[in-house]
Structure 1
Amino acid sequence: MPHSPTPDRMMNDNRSGLFAQLSSPRLLIFLILILALGLRLYKSSVHGLYLDEKFTLVNTQGVSLEGFNQHDVFFTSGKTYFTPKEFWKEKPLKDYIRAIIQTDIGNSPSHYALLWAWIELFGLSDLSIRMPSIIFSTLIVGVVFLLVRRYLRSESLALLCAFLTAIEPFFIAYSHMARNYCMTIFMTLLGTYLFLRILDRRKLRSPTAGKQPIGLYIGYGLSFAIATLGHYLAITIFMCHGLYLLLFNRDLKTYIGLGLSYIAGAVGLIIPWFVFGGGKYTFQTLAYQAKLYGGLALTNPYNNGFGIILPATIANVVKKSIPVLADLFMFSNGLSSDTLAFRNLVIAFALGCVAVAVVHRFGRGRAVPTWVSVIVPVLLIVGFAVYSVPSARLIVAAAVPLLYYLLYQAFAGYRDRSERQFLFLLVLMTTVPTMFLIAIAFRNGHTYGITQRYSGFSFPYALILVGLTIRQVFRQPTYLRLTLVAVLLIQSYYIGELLYRIYEDQAPKYTYYGHYRIENPYNTAAERIKKLYVPGDTVLYPSARTAPRDEVENTYTRHSIIDAQYTNLYLPKDATYYQRMDTTQTDRIILVKGKSGQRTTIFDFEGTKYRY
């Protein structure tokens, strides 16, 4: 007779089953997605909208800043008052196009269209208008997982890359912004996944599976159009697709199918925007900006109101590119010549290269000489004898060549042709967007465009390379594994510190501000007006003198109405509150009581303190 299982064995079997359930890839990716969503929701509505987000908000409502399409509200001769009802009058499509031209050079219509629909459903609170960015940023984590699992054939690596994407500071910071970046990066990543799926289907030779994947082509064409109309620099990722296709594909039907996808996306959405919409002003504005920034780079590179704009010399471009390229890879995030000094970085990198040479020659097999296990970690710290900045980041900087060497090892470990081709595509998409920015910098003669957010399309692919590197760390001999784990722990501390500063609004590269922003002051002012206003009262808005720089900024008055416009966005659309501009002061929204004339300050902006 068969033996009955003992209670101990039954308990062990139950534990094994429970462990298998808890460690299942589906459960783990679900938990990683929950983590990603939580990190993106945390403090997502604590800080008020910064300048570009305000532009996003007015564009979605068809409002041109300074009233190009509202002169009948603010500037009609003999009319001294205006109301929210007049401000919220119905606006035709041309008003939305004009608003996008004014504040975003005709860029991002697909994002504004999506956000307009979202606001119609969920309102325009700060959390509401940031929620699409939160959702797209979270979805990026899921697509990275799918991409790695399918094309590098490892669920553990896919989970690691998804986790890194979930905690990536860039994605968390930009999920808190009502801007186009998270949506556009997601669409380019989705386009990459669809592109590779199309190639997969075309490689299959069975009678049914080899048919043209029409649905994938349609999805790819839409992702191309929506991404390009989300941010024009998204085209750099699709350029990588095209180059990859030329190098590794010889199937005519694939060329035809993808070509038709591009044409359909361009003819259906992109070209109409450039012919009939705001896109027709884009190249004109870009040419104007190139001239403007080029002039500032030569005459006033530091105190020009746009940030530091340097002439595009080789030295300046290298200096500006180092932090952009470093931040793409989590293990080198924060390595900047501005904080660590270029000389220190060169020394650290040189020591790291020596360590690579030692490891490559003597330190890879099972029998590693004792002196190698000592000299490699010593090389990472010996530079402190000459560094001018005693920062632990320089240990990380010295380890960077070793980490790149391990990435090379990881690449060499893949023998399958399709996997190696996929890795090549990853490298292309990691580097081409930034190289494109560098090329444009030399072309225009200034470094203004070499910035982190414009290279953001590369982050998902760089994170996959980081995942490959970290996995390779744990395959090394004990001495090197322990050394690099210590380095990664040091870098983890700095990543955690950066996340803290992002949440506290103290990371200027990621939040554009070095001081803490309060909750949306315009929404706060609107709530106070709704609470205190009674018929007969008047709301006064500060109105500074304007200084338009071109015809797009030149509207119908020489006094600003921006504070009034932003506040009215949060007032009831049918309200008849009497409001007017006060050109005698520039900082306070004031409520004047009708009978007594008593003045109550609704909000004091204190100059630029609360105008982010």
Structure 2
Amino acid sequence: MVLKNKSVLLLCLILALAFGLRVYKSGAYGLYLDEKYTMVISQGVSMEGANQHDVFFTPGKTYFSPQEFWKKKTIDDYIEAIIRCDIGNSPAYYVVLWGWLELFGLSDFSARFPSVLFSTLLVGLVYVFVRRHLRSEPLALLSAFLAAIEPFFIAYSHMARNYSMSFFLTLLATHLFLLILNKEKNRENPTGLLLSYGLTFVLSLLSHYLTITVFLCHGLYFLLYVRKVRLWLLFGLTALVGLGIVSLWFIYGGGVYTFQTLAYQANLYRTVALTNPTNNGFGIILPATPLNVAERSLPLWSDLFIISNGLGHAKFLGYRNLTLAVALGLIAFWLFRRYSGSRNLPRWVLPAFTALLVAGMPFYTVPRLQYIVVALAPTLFYLLVIYIRQSVSRSERPLLVFLLLLATVPTLFLLLMSFRNGHTYGITQRYSGFSFPYTVILVSMILYQVNRLQNGFKWVIALVLCIQAYLVAELLHAIYRDRDPKYTYFAKPRTPNPYYLSARRIQENYAPGDTVLYPSIRMHPRDEVEKTYWPYSIQDAQLTNLYLPKEADYIQRMDTTQTDSIILIKGRSGKKITIFDFQGTTYRY
């Protein structure tokens, strides 16, 4: 009972830590581009006004008001917004967000809070998953702790996007999948669990179409290990019904344009990769050669594991430096493998092991601490092999294979699609982030095995892991300062939301007879797909009106003579008050 109470207390502390790390500064910085689309979709609005013709595009009508902007939206409006702003993806997330914002109001903090909650719940679910399926309380607590401090989870909990919800749902689906197999093994009725699994399957695919990579792993596990005809029939029926429900969205709903748009984007990015790979407005997009794909994917593989986070960024660390660190690490690994089982180590072994880890420092072009961790990496991943040998019974080996599939297949899928589409644009961590809950578990096994070591290797490895912990803490600090392009997409911190600030200033300064002018940037569509209903952008006006009172009758209009400032013109005096100056792209993220 004492042990149980202690575990409950530790779990509560871990969940409190997870929530604190996620809610801290979640509303501090302005919305980036994808979040802007999230906000308008949640209100049934299409960016650039495709379903607001009567507000912005009626011939002879030069003014509009918040009342007109906020006119009641139909289900068709919401579907069109999802189609135009998110290629028909993530309807389940937008339903959840719409309900949340109806209850708690529209603000950046409120819009991001569901991501905070799903990410915190994910930490608790990791604990439940490990405790139930790997049957180890210490491993479950350690896994939950690592999930709580994982920088990837924390960064994406700060975004008003579907990712945290999708990560939670896919782990829940895997948990239910294993529970069903266990029920059937014990000859119990799994009907309720099958219904839950089917619902989670549908919600996952409707939260992000790439969650299919997780269910692909479920199918591979079935092919490898399940031989019962009854289970094949049950899951086959569940999958067919689930796909039938999801297909309604992709055939009759907004998803009808998803694959069409993906094909268009694949062709666009392939053309960009071949003609203008570096200076194109999208970032660096390279042709999908084996070398380019390997270079682009290396950071994804390393960042999947918190103990190797940052170690695969070859352009930052340098190929020569990494090669030297790995070579020294392999020699150190040989020493570890040769002597790790010995309690009475020869006196020279630990100094030699330690020296090998740091021996390259005088020879690296820049002596970074990361190289010491790189040198230890072969030993760390060998510890996973030792854990499996010592702690996983033969009957539990399929579960380990399953975890490895879940940890690797989503990224492998991205690489396959990269070769298929001919470009490297889609090789990005958020599209394979469904693997993180499982890599957290694998890292926990490594750390658990480190603690089991009975000789001085334990303390040398622990010291190097403290270096990595320091590097992870630096990464978290950069995330909170909005200075980590890897996860927050920004090297220069964003200011608080300029549209929210503009709306507040308009309310403070507006009087009847005044007029609000919005800057209107000339747009340059690449083709017919990118054309809108007016050659000038109305985005600044739309995003500001999101935060204005719905019943306000402020007179507002677009000003095509300038592109930077929201201006309030006082009615009687004609005095111009600059509400906000975007300074080109400086404050448009």
Match of residue 463 from structure 2: 486
Q: Which one has the largest radius of gyration?
A: 1
Once the two structures are TM-superposed, the CA of residue 419 in structure 1 deviates from its matched residue by: 2.3
Match of residue 47 from structure 1: 29
Larger deviation, residues 366-375 vs 513-522: 366-375
Aligned partners of 2:4 and 2:80: how far apart in 1?
A: 54
TM-score, with normalisation over the residues of structure 1? 0.94
Cα deviation digits, residues 334-370 of structure 1 (max 9, x gap): 1110210122112211221222222223342223222
Q: Does 1:607 align with 2:584?
A: yes
Match of residue 463 from structure 1: 440
Larger deviation, residues 283-292 vs 472-481: 472-481
Letter of the 1:355 partner, please give it.
A
Contact kept in structure 2, 1:363 and 1:369, CA below 8 Å: no
Aligned partners of 2:213 and 2:328: how far apart in 1?
A: 35
Q: Does 1:328 align with 2:310?
A: no
Match of residue 247 from structure 1: 224
Cα deviation digits, residues 509-539 of structure 1 (max 9, x gap): 1111111111111011111111111111100
Once the two structures are TM-superposed, the CA of residue 94 in structure 1 deviates from its matched residue by: 2.1
Q: Does 1:181 align with 2:163?
A: yes
Aligned partners of 1:577 and 1:96: how far apart in 2?
A: 25
Alignment of 1:237-316 (within 5 A): 237-268=214-245, 270-316=246-292
Once the two structures are TM-superposed, the CA of residue 181 in structure 1 deviates from its matched residue by: 0.3
Aligned partners of 2:406 and 2:447: how far apart in 1?
A: 20
Q: Does 1:394 align with 2:376?
A: no
Contact kept in structure 2, 1:536 and 1:594, CA below 8 Å: yes
Q: Does 1:405 align with 2:405?
A: no
Match of residue 4 from structure 1: none
Match of residue 549 from structure 1: 526
Match of residue 8 from structure 1: none
Match of residue 183 from structure 2: 201
SS of 1:66's equivalent in the other structure is coil
Cα deviation digits, residues 199-241 of structure 1 (max 9, x gap): 1100004xxxx22x11111111111111111111111011101
Letter of the 1:476 partner, please give it.
L
Match of residue 133 from structure 2: 151
Letter of the 1:197 partner, please give it.
L
Match of residue 43 from structure 2: 61
Letter of the 2:81 partner, please give it.
A
Off by >4 Å, runs of 4+ in structure 1: none
Match of residue 149 from structure 2: 167
Once the two structures are TM-superposed, the CA of residue 567 in structure 1 deviates from its matched residue by: 0.5
Contact kept in structure 2, 1:588 and 1:605, CA below 8 Å: yes
SS of 1:540's equivalent in the other structure is strand
Once the two structures are TM-superposed, the CA of residue 100 in structure 1 deviates from its matched residue by: 1.5
Q: Which residue of the other structure, out of 211, 214, 217, is the alignment partner of 1:234?
A: 211
Q: Which residue of the other structure, out of 340, 348, 360, is the alignment partner of 2:317?
A: 340
SS of 1:223's equivalent in the other structure is helix
Alignment of 1:508-527 (within 5 A): 508-527=485-504
Contact kept in structure 2, 1:544 and 1:586, CA below 8 Å: yes
Once the two structures are TM-superposed, the CA of residue 88 in structure 1 deviates from its matched residue by: 1.0
Letter of the 1:288 partner, please give it.
Y
Once the two structures are TM-superposed, the CA of residue 587 in structure 1 deviates from its matched residue by: 0.7
Letter of the 1:123 partner, please give it.
G
Aligned partners of 1:565 and 1:391: how far apart in 2?
A: 47
Aligned partners of 1:219 and 1:346: how far apart in 2?
A: 48
Contact kept in structure 1, 2:18 and 2:149, CA below 8 Å: yes
Q: Which residue of the other structure, out of 51, 54, 59, is the alignment partner of 1:72?
A: 54
Contact kept in structure 2, 1:414 and 1:420, CA below 8 Å: no
Match of residue 377 from structure 1: 354
Give the length in aligned residue pairs: 588
Letter of the 2:266 partner, please give it.
A
1:558/1:204 Cα in 2 relative to 1: closer, same or farther (>3 Å)? same
Once the two structures are TM-superposed, the CA of residue 167 in structure 1 deviates from its matched residue by: 0.4
Match of residue 224 from structure 1: 201
Q: Which residue of the other structure, out of 570, 574, 578, is the alignment partner of 1:597?
A: 574
Letter of the 1:285 partner, please give it.
T
Match of residue 567 from structure 1: 544
1:31/1:283 Cα in 2 relative to 1: closer, same or farther (>3 Å)? same
Aligned partners of 1:192 and 1:417: how far apart in 2?
A: 21
Aligned partners of 1:495 and 1:291: how far apart in 2?
A: 37
Cα deviation digits, residues 118-145 of structure 1 (max 9, x gap): 1111111111110110000001101110
1:497/1:415 Cα in 2 relative to 1: closer, same or farther (>3 Å)? closer
Q: Which residue of the other structure, out of 86, 91, 95, is the alignment partner of 1:109?
A: 91
Match of residue 33 from structure 1: 15
Aligned partners of 2:513 and 2:4: how far apart in 1?
A: 65
1:415/1:29 Cα in 2 relative to 1: closer, same or farther (>3 Å)? closer
Aligned partners of 1:427 and 1:176: how far apart in 2?
A: 28
Letter of the 1:481 partner, please give it.
K
Give structure 1 stretches of 5+ with no counterpart: 1-16
Identity %: 58
Contact kept in structure 1, 2:340 and 2:455, CA below 8 Å: no
Match of residue 420 from structure 1: 397
